Every structure is written in structure tokens, then in C-alpha cells.
Amino acid sequence: MFNNIKLKISNLKNKQTYSKDKSFIFPEKQSMHYDAVNMDINNTCNQRCRFCFSYFDKNKVYMDVETFEKIIQILPLVRDYQGGGYGLYISCVFEPTVNPQFIEILSKIPKEGKNKCFFTTNLVRAMDEEYIKAIINSNIALLNISIESLIPETFHYLTQTKGFDKYKSNLQLLEKVVNEKEGYIPSIRFISMLLKENKDELMDIIDFCFKHFPSEAHEVRTPMIRPMYDNEWNLNQLLSKEEAKEMVDKLNNYPGHIDMNIQSIEDIKESDLKVIPQEKSCEVEKDHYDIAKEKISIVQDYEYLFLRIEPNGTCIDKLTNVPEEIPLDKTEEYFIKKLEHLYKNKAQAVICNNFDDINNIVEGNPNIFIDKFVDNDIFFEVTGWCCPDRDIISDKLILELYGNKGDKHYYYCSIKERTDVDEFYNEEQGWSVGFTSYFEKSKLKDDEYVLSLLFRNSLNQNIKYEYENILKIK
Ligand SMILES: C[S@@+](CC[C@H](N)C(=O)[O-])C[C@H]1O[C@@H](n2cnc3c(N)ncnc32)[C@H](O)[C@@H]1O
Ligand code: SF4
């Protein structure tokens, strides 16, 4: 029934005969990486925007160029920028151009940075053409520029500083430099807060940016409202649901690429109301699948922006949450160790030590497709999907690995929707469940493993689906 499906997994081509009906699949080598790393090269700013969530410490710290040169050794370990925030934030929460060594720091970013590095600036510091050329000629992938108003009075009111003339002049210089430059220029993207103060001006601002710059996108966002922030001013600036909808409609019809993160005052109030009663009312007893699901989702949350590098050369990871001095004589080693820690933690989150239900297993028809089987220094990762029977509970899944010399392991899976296979299973009138799991390498003793999926069904049985090929790991 499923013979018409071509497995996407490329390494199946290397198959060898195992037995009459079994083939080997081999893992593809993949390097470990941080999805996104967050850094700041100082802890201050030359403005005090009314909407800003940043906290400005009286004790000003500026990263020096020697420290940056060491820390940038993290770059090969960071995933490429591809929108959505992946990559290395050279500066994120504060204003990088106030660092007196900013241009020298930028010059230390190696060529690889063109795929990975970015920062956000308010463009308010006094800059000449040389300064702007140095930014544009540096090895960065993306330059984010904040733009809230092109009206001096509004600009000054919002930023609480008198920087409009410098801002306008820098924008003009930037336009000149970008338009005159031949060859590579970093992508340019603008970010505007949507506030009552600037809502009537917003479409003109967006027009201005797309008209004057080869802008990749324009992001429009409302201020984040978090319990730890002072939200009073921002709450007063949020639009009503109706006003927000009108704005979203306009933005949706805009011909340029707009990213939106817009919440109305009603959205905020509703989300406050939703969180509290729901959590209290549905206290259902959790089973081991639910507990594992929570554990896995926490670990997955850790992956994005796992590391935060501070301007004083310390580093905080989300697992330990304790600031550590980065050893500048062994920076690369240090970042690799941190990465191994992150990966180990992920592999350990899926281990199922308490699967003791082996006498309650019913064999099901195997329809399993594996489209990713990779091998990094810490674990093997298997991603695939299957078409199980109708009465299984899709998020109660355990994966069994059974080695050729009897080594046996059980793992929980992260369950994902696989809309990419919709067409197929609709045709077959079936349904699909996507799964991913990780097998810590140091725990696997055998060379070859049979993989099976054990789904819980409504009768509390485990329906077992055995994958048709053998995972060859050594
Ligand atoms: C914190 S700033 C740091 C970079 C730089 N100083 C700037 O303003 O461009 C980074 C981005 O966050 C935005 N931002 C500031 N306060 C915010 C808030 N409360 N909610 C969401 N975004 C905010 C800024 O507009 C800017 O685009
Ligand atoms: S310029 Fe950026 S960091 Fe500075 S106060 Fe404004 S939003 Fe915050």
C-alpha cells in the first residue's frame, strides 16, 4: 500500500542486505550548533525610549576589542542567520554604537559572519560617512534599524533625547553608502514599534524605508508586556482591537514584506484572564508521558538563545542560569563544552527508564517512514512519521531500540504535525504522526538496532510498529 512512497532519506541509497527483507540505514554526520546566541557589547544606550524594556545599570560596561576577538571564536558553532532570529546577535538589548571601540569590534568579525551576525541600532550616534561605510563593509549578515518616527517632535517625545537631526542625517548617509556600494552589502531591515503616538505616521514610515533602502523587511511590533517590566506607559499606547485590526489589514495589503507582532489592549487583557483560570481548573493527573512531554518542551525552549554573553565577558546559560567568566585563553573549548552540555541534556530528557509494560504489546502493521537520521558528537537523532491505527493516542508514544546483541532502550518522542505528508495520507485515507527522538551515543553498546514505535491505544495496550530497516550506528 505504501510502496509508491520514495523515502527522502538519502543515506538509504547505501543500503546493504541485512536479511531477506531488511536493509541498513546509516546516520549522516552533522555538527553541533547553537541555534541563536545573544550578546551585548555594552550595557547602555544614548536614548531613553519611553517604550523600552531595557534596564540601564549606572555602572557602565563596554566590551573591549581583545575580549570580543576571543569571544567571536564561537562563530563556527552558531547556526546561519535565516530570518526568525537564528544566528549571532552581536548586540541585542542595548545600543552598540555607544561602545567606543564599536568599529574596531566590527572589523574583527571574520568572513563567516556574513552568514551569521547581526545587530540592531537606533542610528542616533554622530556618524560620518567613514563610520557608516565601516558598518556596511563589515562581515555582518543583517543590520536592523529602529524607526519610530520621522517627525522631530514625536521622535524626541518617544526617545526622550534630542537626536532627530543626527538620526535623519545618518539615514541619508546610509542611503548614499548603500546605493553607491558595489558587491556585498548586509541585508537591511527596519523595526517600528506600533504606538498610539505614531500609528497615523506608520504607513509613511514604512513607505519611506522601502523607497530609500533595499530593505529586506519591515517589522512592526507592539511593546512586549511582561510582569517584570514597568508596563504603565506601554499599556496606554496599545491600540484597541478595532484599531489594531485596521492597521493589520493595511499592513497585510502593503506590497513590501512586513513582519507583524501586534497585540491590542484587549488581546493583553484576554491573555491575562485566560492564563489564570485555565491552569487552575484542569488539574488532571499527569502520567509519565505527560511528564516527559513537559520535560522535552523545556529542553527545546532552552535551545533558542541558550547562551547570553554579557559585555563584561561573562556568560549565562539557561540550564545553570549562573554567570560564568569566559576563560579567554580557552574560549573555543569552553563554548564546545557548553554545547555538549546542551545536547546531553536534550538526549537525557527523552530517556524512558520506566517502560515496564512489555507484556502488554500488540503487533501493528508497520508503516514508518524515517526522513532524518543524523549523528553528532552526543546523540543520534531520528525524525520520521508513521500512519498508525485510528485508536492510538498520538502523543503517547515510546520508541524502542533493540540492538543486535540484546541492548535495549526506550525513549520518549517529541511529536510533531507533519503537514508536508498530508497529501500522501489523505490519498491513502490514513493519518500521520510525526516524531523525533535522540539516542545518547555513549549509552548504545551494539552496532545495529531495530527501531519500533510503541503507541498507547484507547484500551491501554501498546501497539507496536517495527521499522522495516536496520539502524547501523557503528
Ligand atoms: C532594545 S533595542 C536595542 C537596540 C537599539 N538600541 C535600538 O533601539 O535599535 C532592540 C529593539 O527592541 C525594540 N524594543 C524596545 N522596547 C521594546 C518593547 N518594550 N517591546 C518590544 N520591542 C522593544 C526597539 O525598538 C529595537 O528595535
Ligand atoms: S534606543 Fe534602543 S536600547 Fe535605547 S532606549 Fe531606545 S529602544 Fe531602548
Contact between 367 and 387 (Cβ < 8 Å): yes
pLDDT band at 427 (very low <50, low <70, confident <90, very high): low
Atom of ligand 2 nearest to the CA of 94: 3
Atom of ligand 1 nearest to the CA of 191: 27
* 289-297 own/partner pairs: CB under 8 Å, 24+ apart: 289/395, 289/396, 289/397, 289/412, 289/456, 292/349, 292/350, 292/352, 292/412, 293/395, 293/412, 295/349, 296/349, 296/350, 296/412, 296/414
Question: DSSP label at 147?
Answer: -
* Whole-number pLDDT of residue 448: 96
Q: Indicate if ligand 2 lies below 6 Å from the C-beta of 51.
A: no
Q: Indicate if ligand 2 lies below 6 Å from the C-beta of 124.
A: no
Q: Does position 175 have pLDDT exceeding 50, yes or no?
A: yes
* Whole-number pLDDT of residue 420: 78
* Whole-number pLDDT of residue 15: 41
Q: Does position 265 have pLDDT exceeding 70, yes or no?
A: yes
Q: Indicate if ligand 2 lies below 6 Å from the C-beta of 95.
A: yes
Residue nearest (by alpha carbon) to ligand 2 atom 7? 52
Neighbours of 307 (CB within 10 A): 22
* Whole-number pLDDT of residue 275: 44
Q: Indicate if ligand 2 lies below 6 Å from the C-beta of 40.
A: no
Go through the domains of the chain in sequence order and give each one's CATH number.
10-30+351-472 (2.60.40), 36-193+284-339 (3.20.20)
The C-alpha atoms of residue 221 and residue 29 are separated, in whole angstroms, by 39
The C-alpha atoms of residue 257 and residue 251 are separated, in whole angstroms, by 9
Q: Does position 150 have pLDDT exceeding 70, yes or no?
A: yes
Atom of ligand 1 nearest to the CA of 45: 6
* Whole-number pLDDT of residue 336: 97
* Whole-number pLDDT of residue 418: 81
Q: Does position 271 have pLDDT exceeding 50, yes or no?
A: yes
* Whole-number pLDDT of residue 41: 98
Window from 329-333, 358-362, 400-404, 425-429 with minimum mean pLDDT: 425-429
Q: Mean of the pLDDT values across residues 440-459?
A: 94
Atom of ligand 1 nearest to the CA of 234: 19
Q: Does position 100 have pLDDT exceeding 70, yes or no?
A: yes
Q: Which helix (H) or strand (E) holds 317?
A: strand 314-317
**Cα dist. 422→31, 385, 425 in Å?**
30, 11, 5
CA of residue 260 to ligand 1 center, whole Å: 15
pLDDT band at 429 (very low <50, low <70, confident <90, very high): low
pLDDT band at 430 (very low <50, low <70, confident <90, very high): low
* Whole-number pLDDT of residue 303: 85
pLDDT band at 390 (very low <50, low <70, confident <90, very high): confident
pLDDT above 90 covers a percentage of the chain that reads 76
pLDDT band at 402 (very low <50, low <70, confident <90, very high): very high
Q: Mean of the pLDDT values across residues 43-70?
A: 96
CA of residue 94 to ligand 2 center, whole Å: 6
| SS3 at position 417 | coil
Relative to the alpha carbon of 163, which ligand is closest? 2
* Whole-number pLDDT of residue 19: 47
Q: Indicate if ligand 1 lies below 6 Å from the C-beta of 122.
A: yes
Mean pLDDT score of the chain: 90
Q: Mean of the pLDDT values across residues 181-196?
A: 97
Relative to the alpha carbon of 45, which ligand is closest? 2
Neighbours of 433 (CB within 10 A): 22
Q: Mean of the pLDDT values across residues 75-86?
A: 89
Window from 20-34, 43-57, 130-144 with minimum mean pLDDT: 20-34
